[in-house]
């Protein structure tokens, strides 16, 4: 893995599972989030990102932990080394520029059916949250590239 990836899934949620939509294209709005998504309210968690490797693992499991049941990414990307990203890292995904704001999702070990204290949970390093720094569309197959574009301005 390196720092050039490819968008493999796009999703928005309107608030409940019945209203989830898997799309060919989404629009990321600066300082807001993904247009039409229930979480497009600004703040530090405007866009959710998931490593494709975690999605593939999830699909192969007989039972899922509570985090994977609850966590639904707006953008799934394969080929980027998520462990190389940290708060403040910039990603250009399609036409949009995203700033990583949070790494990981809170672990609900007390209610998780698959929690094992002796193993690292995949979600802790394969799910990220980001802020939209530059609006733009993101399409299936678009490249995701770690960039320093905004840091140089």
pTM of the model: 0.84
Into how many domains does the chain fold?
1
For 48-70, what is each residue's pLDDT tens digit?
A: 998 898 777 777 767 666 566 66
For 99-148, what is each residue's pLDDT tens digit?
A: 999 886 666 667 666 666 777 666 666 889 999 999 999 999 999 988 76
For 30-42, what is each residue's pLDDT tens digit?
A: 999 999 999 899 9
pLDDT band of residue 72 (cuts 50, 70, 90) is confident
10: helix, strand or coil: strand
User: How many Cα atoms are found within 13 Å in the side-chain-facing hemisphere of 35?
Assistant: 12
CATH number at residue 121: 2.40.33.20
CA distances from 141 to 20, 26, 45, 78, 131 (A): 20, 12, 23, 10, 21
Q: Please give the residue range of the domain that contains residue 9.
A: 3-152
Closest CA to 107 of 95, 115, 97: 115
């Amino acid at each position: 893995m390196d720092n050039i990836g490819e968008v493999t899934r796009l999703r928005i949620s309107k608030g409940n599972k019945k209203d989830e939509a898997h799309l060919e294209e989404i629009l990321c709005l600066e300082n807001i989030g993904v247009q039409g998504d229930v979480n497009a309210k600004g703040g530090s968690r405007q866009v959710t990102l998931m490593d494709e490797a975690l999605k593939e693992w999830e699909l192969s499991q007989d039972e899922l932990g509570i985090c994977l049941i609850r966590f639904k990414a707006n953008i799934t990307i394969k080929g980027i080394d998520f462990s190389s990203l940290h708060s403040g890292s910039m990603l250009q995904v399609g036409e949009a520029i995203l700033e990583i704001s949070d790494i990981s999702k809170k672990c609900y070990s007390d209610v998780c059916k698959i929690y094992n204290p002796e193993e690292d949970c995949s979600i802790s390093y394969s799910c990220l949250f980001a802020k939209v720094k530059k609006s733009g569309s993101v399409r299936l197959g678009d490249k995701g590239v770690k960039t320093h574009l905004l840091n140089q301005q």
